[in-house]
Amino acid sequence: MVSCLRRLRPVGKGRMQFAHGHPRFARFRLSGCSDKGSTLIETLLSISLLAIILLAATRGAIGSLSAASIGKERSDATGIMSVAMAQAVALPFAYLQSGLNTSADSLANDSNIVKSGSSYVLELNGNIAPTAASTIPVSNTNSPEPPLVPHVVAVLEGINYTVHTYPTTSTSTPGLVTVVVIVTWKSPTGGKDQVVGEDGIAAP
């Protein structure tokens, strides 16, 4: 607020002027004060405060929408992973045990598969998965059906998801195949995310 000094100044030069000829009612003028500057500053302060409130509300709404979007993406990815796992479990155990078909499916373009000597391993976050002794069998010549052939498929569920399915075996557990399913996607809100699931399937 702008304060101003108000003082009464008689109209005229050095003498009092009376209204309507009555000596008790002299005309005075307020001087030294203007409301124009005060009104402008108050208006600017009100607009600034309103802008700050609207900005805070907008940021909060964007944050809530972003969190909800990420939650839905992860929920959809989990559902897609469950479907791929159910498809793998439904295959004959011999198909799972023989693994991937290298003549029908390219492994060189899969960054999760690393060749170690004559074997193929699944490498996630720099580690062999599910265990250090796991390998991916690649002697499948029978199964032409997903999710093994091809072992990488694209699924459109609002956004593009990529589904990777890997049957893995270990010499320490010859009667068990561990199926690993990885669903990856690039979120519209920014960044790349993934969901990983695995299931151990024993020989019948």
Query: Radius of gyration of the chain from Cα atoms?
Result: 39
User: Quick one: pLDDT band at residue 86, thresholds 50, 70, 90?
Assistant: very high
Query: How many Å is the maximal CA-CA distance in the chain?
Result: 122
Residue 144 reports pLDDT greater than 50:
yes
If one compares 122 and 47, the residue with the highest pLDDT of the two is: 122
pLDDT score for 51:
80
Mean predicted confidence (pLDDT) in 155-175: 92
Is the pLDDT at 170 greater than 50? The verdict is yes
* 164 burial via Cβ count (<10 Å: 0-12, 13-18, 19+): buried
* Mean pLDDT across 119-130: 90
pTM of the shown model:
0.67
Q: Who wins on pLDDT, 203 or 28?
A: 203
Q: Is the pLDDT of residue 6 over 80?
A: no
- pLDDT at residue number 200: 92
- Could you read off the pLDDT of 95-107 as tens digits, one per residue? 999 999 988 888 8
Higher pLDDT, 202 or 145: 202
Most confident of 13-27, 51-65, 141-155: 141-155
- The pLDDT of residue 60: 61
Tell me the pLDDT tens digit for each residue of 8-43.
444 454 444 444 444 444 444 444 555 555 687 878
Report pLDDT for 168.
Answer: 95
DSSP string covering 54-113, please?
HHHHHHHHHHHHHHHHHHHHHHHHHHHHHHHHHHHHHS-HHHHHHB-BTTTS-STT-TTE
Tell me how far apart the alpha carbons of residues 134 and 140 are, in angstroms, rounded to a whole number: 17
In this predicted structure, the answer to whether residue 2 has a pLDDT above a threshold of 50 is no
Q: Where are the domains of the chain?
A: 51-202
